[in-house]
Amino acid sequence: MTRSSATEAFRASFGVEPEFLVRAPGRVNLIGEHVDYNDGIVLPMAIDLGIWVACGSRSDDRIEYVAHDLGGLRDGFCRAEEVQRCNDWRDHVRGVAAAFSTQISSIPSLSLAISGNLPSGRGLSSSAALGVAIARALDHAAQTELSAQRIALLAQWAERDFVGTQCGIMDQLASAVGSAGHVLKLDCRTLEHALVKWPTNWAVLVVDSGIRRSLADSAFNDRTKACAMAAERMGKTSLRDASLADIAGHRSQLTQEETRLAHHVVSEIARTRDAASAIRRKDLFEIGALMRASHTSLRDDFRVSLPPIDSLVSLQNEALGENGGARMMGGGFGGCTVAVCGHEDLPHLQHVVTAGYRTPDGKKAWMYRAKPSNGAEVVPILGGRTG
Ligand code: GLA
């Protein structure tokens, strides 16, 4: 569907057929929250909703792009000149072009039509998916054969250093390296990943609280700084290297806030490792207990939840009992929750949320059953050229 809307938008805007398509997925994070920028371990999956970009070469010296889902908004710039900021959505494209031209090679002349079925603003990493898709498109057109890790780093640079939104590497890396039927155990220090087979009889339910959040929130920046400070006060490069004993031993050097934040990060990294083993063992009780503990830690120690999110999480945990678990997902202060349960319990869980939760504007919550999917890929056009 979005593949064809990207292709049609390309034809309508540029009057020719595209040469290749790129698809980059959003992500759901099962566990490992607020640990990526502390060099930690996270356990996300790339999902079956994503961004599609139809691409074709140009004979002039320009990058021209159109955003189908933003009413066909169009923008362009000369590839030989320094890429300028616009301070709006266009910077997600421009930022990747700036990263590519300064870090990899000159940008190829390209026309791009962007479309997708990944809703933005719900915490499913639509901006990371867009960045990864554009980076993969530039890489394919310029034949630079970048690794998935390099693609993720370019997209992260664009988000952090060009757009100015603080983020770790998890979202971009998950979008770049995802694998159908697997969750990803990502090491955010080395950028290495291991695939963990997702049990075919388990379901993942994402529920949007309807409370909008902004990543650029000062709260996110405050926490990244405080975590770095806590690590420094303990003489560590990052909180990845700290233990609970280190935190206890440095009580007098750490502020109360730093102690709580460090406690979350260190315990969450341990929970994430345990969760990877629990999934391998198909231990639904254990993964449920770890997700509930993750939520408690994010609420009480890291303090990024909100009372309505806590209620939405409790509602789901009460419905599941010990057969799975739910927690807040992503940066916090709104956005989605994520729950894991057996297939047979999914209808009951969905029913409980529909009956028991309303968004701030009184609506039923948007729910989505996530399926672990492949990461960003170049998709040939049937009957067309592939770049
Ligand atoms: C946001 C950031 C990620 C990560 C999460 C919290 O989604 O983009 O890099 O830090 O918050 O786990």
pLDDT higher than 80, residue 18: yes
High-pLDDT (> 90) share of the chain, %: 90
- Considering the candidates 171, 208, 246, 301, report the single residue annotated as catalytic: 171
Residues 318-339: pLDDT tens digits?
999 999 999 999 999 999 999 9
**pLDDT reported for residue 160:** 94
Q: Which of the four pLDDT bands, split at 50, 70 and 90, describes residue 214?
A: low
Verify whether ligand 1 is closer than 6 Å to residue 159 (CB atom): no
Mean pLDDT across the stretch 13-28?
97
**Mean pLDDT for the chain overall:** 95
Verify whether ligand 1 is closer than 6 Å to residue 152 (CB atom): no
Q: Which of the four pLDDT bands, split at 50, 70 and 90, describes residue 216?
A: very low
pLDDT higher than 90, residue 386: no
Atom 9 of ligand 1, nearest CA residue: 168
Verify whether ligand 1 is closer than 6 Å to residue 375 (CB atom): no
Mean pLDDT across the stretch 193-222?
89
Q: Please, are residues 99 and 52 in contact by the beta-carbon 8 Å criterion? A: no
Verify whether ligand 1 is closer than 6 Å to residue 171 (CB atom): yes
Mean pLDDT across the stretch 137-142?
98
301 alpha carbon to ligand 1 midpoint, in Å?
A: 17
User: Of all atoms in ligand 1, which is nearest to the CA of residue 220?
Assistant: 11
Verify whether ligand 1 is closer than 6 Å to residue 36 (CB atom): yes
Atom 8 of ligand 1, nearest CA residue: 167
User: Of all atoms in ligand 1, which is nearest to the CA of residue 35?
Assistant: 12
Q: How many CB atoms lie within 10 A of CB 54?
A: 31
Q: Please, are residues 324 and 297 in contact by the beta-carbon 8 Å criterion? A: no
Mean pLDDT across the stretch 32-58?
98
pLDDT higher than 50, residue 217: yes
- Specify burial of residue 228 (Cβ count, 10 A radius: 0-12, 13-18, 19+): middle
32 alpha carbon to ligand 1 midpoint, in Å?
A: 10
CA distance 34 to 271: 13
Q: Please, are residues 208 and 335 in contact by the beta-carbon 8 Å criterion? A: yes
Residues 176-189: pLDDT tens digits?
999 999 999 999 99
Verify whether ligand 1 is closer than 6 Å to residue 298 (CB atom): no
The predicted model scores a pTM of 0.96
User: Of all atoms in ligand 1, which is nearest to the CA of residue 165?
Assistant: 8
pLDDT higher than 80, residue 366: yes
Q: How many CB atoms lie within 10 A of CB 201?
A: 10
First to last CA, the chain: 22
Tokens 């090679």 -> residue = 105
Atom 2 of ligand 1, nearest CA residue: 167
CA distance 291 to 317: 10
CA distance 170 to 34: 10
Residue 222 annotated as catalytic? no
Torsion of CA 280, 281, 284, 290, to 10 degrees: -70
Verify whether ligand 1 is closer than 6 Å to residue 330 (CB atom): yes
Angle at 63 between CA 46 and CA 51, to 5 degrees: 20
Report how far apart, in Å, the C-alpha atoms of 294 and of each of 237, 242, 315, 371, 381 are: 24, 18, 16, 22, 43
Verify whether ligand 1 is closer than 6 Å to residue 327 (CB atom): no
**pLDDT reported for residue 383:** 56
CA distance 114 to 207: 26
Mean pLDDT across the stretch 119-132?
92
Pocket test of ligand 1: the residue of 27, 36, 265, 271 to mutate, having most ligand atoms within 8 Å of its CB, is 36
pLDDT higher than 80, residue 208: yes
Q: Which of the four pLDDT bands, split at 50, 70 and 90, describes residue 373?
A: very high
194 alpha carbon to ligand 1 midpoint, in Å?
A: 20
